[in-house]
Amino acid sequence: MISKITERCISEIQDHLKDYVMEHSSKNKNRKFTCFNKNAHNNRDEDPSAAIVPGSRGRYWICFSCGAKGDILTAAQYTEGIEGFHNSMKFLSTKYNVEIETEGPKPSTKRDFQTKQ
């Protein structure tokens, strides 16, 4: 059984999108960068057509040319050929040294009811 990765942990990974963009794309023009799905472009996206989605806290990107979009996990899937959410999380958590945090069995917050009267 695969434990569910916490939202907090996913957000922490997603926050590295800009780092990933910088590493991936040497071209930055008018805040645009080379599409992660550049193989879908005729010229490997020589004229950058991807951008960070406004209002996404820097966590999502979109390509105005081929229509590819997503977060850093999707980006890693395009550039590294990784398949699936968990494999992407594993790759990126190692890359950025983020500890994968899973939702384990929750510690009981209920107090034992004692109805002694």
Per CB under 5 A, the segment of 33-41, 73-81, 92-100, 101-109 that binds Zn ion is: 33-41
Contacts of 82 (CB under 8 A, 6+ apart): 76, 88, 91
DSSP H or E segment with residue 90: helix 85-95
Query: Is 62 an interacting residue with respect to Zn ion (CB under 5 A)?
Result: no
User: Least distance in Å: CB of 8 to Zn ion?
Assistant: 30
Which lies closer to Zn ion via its Cβ, residue 65 or residue 74?
A: 65
d(CA 94, CA 91): 5
For the chain, the residue count is 117
Query: Is 21 an interacting residue with respect to Zn ion (CB under 5 A)?
Result: no
User: Angle CA(9)–CA(64)–CA(44) in degrees, nearest 5?
Assistant: 90
Whether the Cβ atoms of residue 18 and residue 58 lie closer than 8 Å to each other: yes
Site string (63-82) toward Zn ion, x via CB under 5 A? x-xx-x--------------
Query: Is 17 an interacting residue with respect to Zn ion (CB under 5 A)?
Result: no
Per CB under 5 A, the segment of 18-26, 37-45, 86-94, 99-107 that binds Zn ion is: 37-45
Amino acid found at 73? L
Residues that bind Zn ion (CB under 5 A): 35, 37, 63, 65-66, 68
